[in-house]
Amino acid sequence: MLKVDNLHQYYSGSHILRGVSVTAQSGKVTVLLGRNGVGKTTLLKSLMGLVPIKSGTIEWNGQPIHKLTPYERARRGIGFVPQGREIFGRLTVQENLRMGLAYQSASTPIPPHLYELFPVLQQMLHRRGGDLSGGQQQQLAIARALAPAPGLLILDEPTEGIQPSIIKDIGRVIRMLAKEHGMAVLLCEQYYDFAQELADEYVVMERGEVIAAGPGAEMQDKGIQKLVAI
């Protein structure tokens, strides 16, 4: 389980995260909601160690990780799919997937189940990442994060700029990872219907603070969509 407690973070003197506490449990999808600019991406980057925190704690499987480097957190079993995908455009699909295994032995094979999750990647193994469509690049970014078999997958806006048919495929994979593989998933998402459909738990942020949280089944009754409407 991921446990984030009382996290504070600043940018150039501005108080960005204000006492944020979040959990993400194995076998469940926790969705992180909020309007643009409320600190969601900053929170995710803080979880990965890409930006420093001022105070608070981050624990994964009962062990503190907030002082570890990003690569040390990855080795502990945390996968991250950043907003904008950030694949290597000049590398092939196969080479991008191997980057997900960078800290393992060079002989470590690419897990074949990745091609079962995203069949299009096997068809395009030798095509450069930059030549893929946006939806295919997003599938590649998720598969790269899954290559080392993390216990926690953090996704930042995976449906952004993606066609509806691929959004459905991504939703199917996220649900499968949690329910069948027992993975903890923390999903930051602007597409409310997609988030509500997947949510076992939800967290809503506003101005760097958590203002609502609870079971996903209660999102409609609690009027959560009104809290995040633009």
Sort 177 into a burial class: Cβ within 10 Å, 0-12 / 13-18 / 19+.
Answer: buried
Radius of gyration from C-alpha coordinates of the chain: 17
- 108 within domain boundaries: no
Percent of the chain with pLDDT over 90: 92
- 111 within domain boundaries: no
- 192 within domain boundaries: yes
Are the beta carbons of 189 and 159 closer than 8 angstroms? yes
Asked if residue 59 has pLDDT above 90, the reply is: yes
pLDDT digits (tens, 9 = 90+) for 146-188: 999 999 999 999 999 899 999 999 999 999 999 999 999 999 9
Check which CATH number belongs to the domain holding 80 and give it. Answer: 3.40.50.300
- 126 within domain boundaries: no
In what order do the strands lie in the sheet containing 78-81? 78-81, 152-156, 184-188, 29-33, 201-206, 209-215
pLDDT digits (tens, 9 = 90+) for 63-111: 999 999 999 999 999 999 999 889 999 999 999 999 999 888 888 899 9
- Could you tell me the pTM of the whole model? 0.95
- 207 within domain boundaries: yes
Determine the residue type at 19.
Answer: G
Structural domain boundaries, residue 157: 2-87+135-228
- 9 within domain boundaries: yes
- 73 within domain boundaries: yes
Domain count, the chain: 1
The candidate with the shortest Cα–Cα distance to 32, out of 62, 72, 2, is 2
What angle do the packed helices 134-146 and 164-179 form, to 10 degrees?
A: 10
- 216 within domain boundaries: yes
